[in-house]
Amino acid sequence: MQVRLEHVTHVYAGSDEAAAVQVLNDVSLDIAPGAFAVLRGASGSGKSTILNLIGAVDRPTSGRVYLGGIETSAASEQHLTLLRRKSIGFVFQQFNLIPTLTVFENVAFPLSLAKVNRRDIDSRTRAMLERVGLAHRASHYPNELSGGEMQRVAIGRAVIHRPPLIVADEPTGNLDSKNGASVLELIRSIHETEHPTIVMATHSDAAAAFGEYTISVADGNVSR
Ligand SMILES: Nc1ncnc2c1ncn2[C@@H]1O[C@H](COP(=O)(O)OP(=O)(O)OP(=O)(O)O)[C@@H](O)[C@H]1O
Ligand SMILES: [Mg+2]
């Protein structure tokens, strides 16, 4: 899926006392279908802001955002909800698993939302759990897993419906180097086999090395 930002500006409105914060100033960006791009930049430079715009979680203050030719910055909330469910997989630093669901149910969740039939949900979820190396933990709950295991479950959930776009915000930020490496290997294997577009923000040189190229974020803008 192609990702395109055209002259995007983003301002977070402050409360009455707090001044508004302009984070992005006239950002234009093109990421080709199937590319693996890495966002780098200092804390507060706007990486998560860009990922939220790309993932259609937030709208730009001005400018346009396109995903695969659809202008998401102009689409209805209803349309965006469906687009996010069907076409985007999200991976977060904090994993964001659903604590009341088992590992199996967490990974199956996007298929349940898509009303896939029960038998297919079962076989696809089992296959995904094998792939992320957690078949033996299917009936456990997230709080019974290590951080690395939680992130592998979260990646299984992010990709089980084969979204053409994966947005990852510091996916190894809470992991030690060994678990981080296993999560990055998993992301790389998904990229190699399914060819989704991946946009990943990271502070880590080791993580950045997994991408095809780097986009630097600084002073409200981006450069390659
Ligand atoms: N909801 C918000 N309201 C006001 N300001 C915000 C909001 N979200 C982010 N900001 C500000 O916007 C700027 C960019 O934030 P963003 O989270 O995009 O940075 P980042 O590059 O992801 O940083 P980090 O590496 O620490 O995750 C920061 O100055 C931040 O304080
Ligand atoms: Mg961030």
Ligand 1 atom 18 nearest Cα: 46
Output the six-digit token pair for 147. Answer: 């951080």
List, run by run, the mean pLDDT of 10-residue segments along the chain (224 residues).
Answer: 98 85 96 98 96 97 96 96 96 96 97 94 97 96 96 96 97 93 94 97 95 96 94
DSSP 150-184: HHHHHHHHHHTT--SEEEEESTTTTS-HHHHHHHH
Domain layout of the chain by residue ranges: 31-62+75-223
Task: Tell me the CA–centroid distance for residue 92 and ligand 2, in Å.
Answer: 10
Cβ–Cβ < 8 Å for 172, 202: yes
> Degrees (nearest 5) of the Cα angle 123, 129, 131?
105
pLDDT of residue 93: 93
Ligand 2 center to 125 CA (angstroms): 30
> How high is the pLDDT of residue 134?
96
String of DSSP letters for the chain: --EEEEEEEEEEPP-SSSPPEEEEEEEEEEE-TT-EEEEE--TTSSHHHHHHHHTTSS--SEEEEEETTEEGGGS-HHHHHHHHHHHEEEEETT----TTS-HHHHHHHHHHHTT--HHHHHHHHHHHHHHTT-GGGTTS-GGGS-HHHHHHHHHHHHHTT--SEEEEESTTTTS-HHHHHHHHHHHHHHHHHH--EEEEE-S-HHHHTTSSEEEEEETTEEE-
Nearest CA to ligand 1 atom 16: 46
Q: In the prediction, which pLDDT does 209 show?
A: 95
- d(Cα 153, Cα 145) in Å, to the nearest integer? 10
CA of 27 from ligand 1 middle (Å) equals 16
43 CA from centroid of ligand 2 (Å) = 7
- Ligand 2 (ion): which residues have CB within 5 A? 47-48
Nearest atom in ligand 1 to 39's CA: 21
Backbone phi, psi, residue 180, to 5°: -60, -45
Q: Residue 161: which region, alpha, beta or left (left: phi > 0; alpha: psi -120 to 50)? A: alpha
pLDDT of residue 44: 95
Please tell me the distance from the alpha carbon of residue 3 to that of residue 209, in angstroms, as a whole number: 21
What's the rounded Cα separation, in Å, for the pair 203 and 53? Answer: 19
Q: Which of 45, 50, 214, 222 best tests ligand 1's pocket when mutated (most atoms within 8 Å of CB)? A: 45
CATH number at 31-62+75-223: 3.40.50.300
Q: Please tell me the distance between residue 22's alpha carbon and the centre of ligand 1 in angstroms.
A: 10
Pocket probe for ligand 1: among 11, 24, 49, 204, the residue whose CB has the most ligand atoms within 8 Å is 49
pLDDT the model gives residue 15: 80
Task: Say which residues have a Cβ less than 8 Å from residue 71's Cβ, sequence separation at least 6.
Answer: 64, 65
Pocket of ligand 1 (CB under 6 A): 12, 21, 23, 41, 43-49
Please state, in angstroms and rounded to a whole number, the distance separating the CA atoms of residues 54 and 10: 13
How many angstroms does the Cα of residue 48 sit away from the middle of ligand 1? 7
Q: In this predicted structure, what is the pLDDT of residue 188?
A: 96
